[in-house]
Amino acid sequence: MAPTAEEVRERVAALGPWFYEFDLREHGRTVSVLPPEVLPIHQTRLDMVDRVVDGYFGDRVRQIRCIDVGCHEGYYSVAMARKGMREVRGVDVRETNLEKARLVADIYGLRNLVYQQKNCEDLRAEETGQYELCLFLGLLYHLENPMLCLRNISRITSELCVIETQVVDEVEGYAEWGGRGWTRPYRGVLALIDEGAEFYSHGGETGASPLATCPSLNALHFMLKQAGFRRSEIIQPPPGAYEQHQRGQRVVCAAYK
């Protein structure tokens, strides 16, 4: 027997607090814990993802398979499934996030969308197969092992990966490499960030450990190339974009196989 509207609303409330705002039709809306000035980040990110995905796949969009790595509550995997993609799989390290994602997918009746608990460090192409589209949004800068995860997503991506990440200021120079007269140029930098306070308080927006590594823009491009992507490009934010995207402190990057 299908749950009643009251039972669904009780389930939504019990799973709170919510990070994303979802329009749940007759069941109301979820209320995000983010302050109002930060909330536009989600729509900006979705607008930019839509522009890349629609522009690249065009009429093929209903034929492709998509994997949303670090899907959180399913905001972007739901959006991709609603485009009519053949198959969408969301993976996240936290089951508490996936409970919310599954509820939203059920409310929308999205039969082309499934969720799986998985750490991006453990993604294997031989287990998941390959996907024409990979989403890797708001995750890279929370990871302790970003290069391992980028290699993993490269192996499971057959055409396009869309990465959204915070970036740090560039540092350029030369490092001694075995002796005073031997040097190598920097290819960008990774900033080490302590997310311990959020991690140990069970915050749902950190990685799987309290150590985060945030790349500079040059580092992002260099790492994507080393991971096996043929080329990568930064997508320009739309008018009225979230302020960090406007200032280039967050970027959306399209990486092509």
Residue 29 lies in a domain: no
Residue 106 lies in a domain: yes
Spatial separation of the C-alpha atoms in residues 68 and 145, rounded to whole Å: 18
Residue 192 lies in a domain: yes
Residue 175 lies in a domain: yes
CA distances, 81 to each of 8, 35, 113, 128, 213 (Å)? 21, 28, 6, 18, 30
Which pair of structure tokens corresponds to residue 125? 């192409």
Residue bearing tokens 């990685």 = 207
Residue 32 lies in a domain: no
Spatial separation of the C-alpha atoms in residues 168 and 154, rounded to whole Å: 23
Asked if the model's pLDDT at residue 226 lies above 80, the reply is yes
What percent of the chain has pLDDT above 90?
86
SS3 category, 206: coil
pTM: 0.95
SS3 category, 96: helix
Residues composing the chain: 257
pLDDT in tens, 131-156: 999 999 999 999 999 999 999 999 99
Mean pLDDT, rounded, of the chain: 94
Q: What angle do CA 208, 209, 212 make, to 5 degrees?
A: 105
pLDDT band at 130, cuts 50/70/90?
very high
Residue 30 lies in a domain: no
Count of domains for the chain: 1
pLDDT of 27 reads: 87
More confident residue, 18 or 126: 18
pLDDT band at 125, cuts 50/70/90?
confident
Residue 137 lies in a domain: yes
Query: Using CA of residue 41, residue 87, residue 23, residue 118, what is the dihedral sign?
Result: negative
pLDDT of 2 reads: 62
Residue 102 lies in a domain: yes
pLDDT of 12 reads: 92
CA-only gyration radius of the chain, Å = 19
- The answer to whether residues 254 and 162 touch, using CB atoms and an 8 Å cutoff, is yes
Torsions phi, psi for 81 (to 5 deg): -65, -35
Residue 176: which domain range? 39-256
> Residue 103 is part of a domain; what is its CATH number?
3.40.50.150
Which pair of structure tokens corresponds to residue 181? 């007269």
Looking at the DSSP assignment, which residues form a beta bridge with residue 234?
Answer: 253
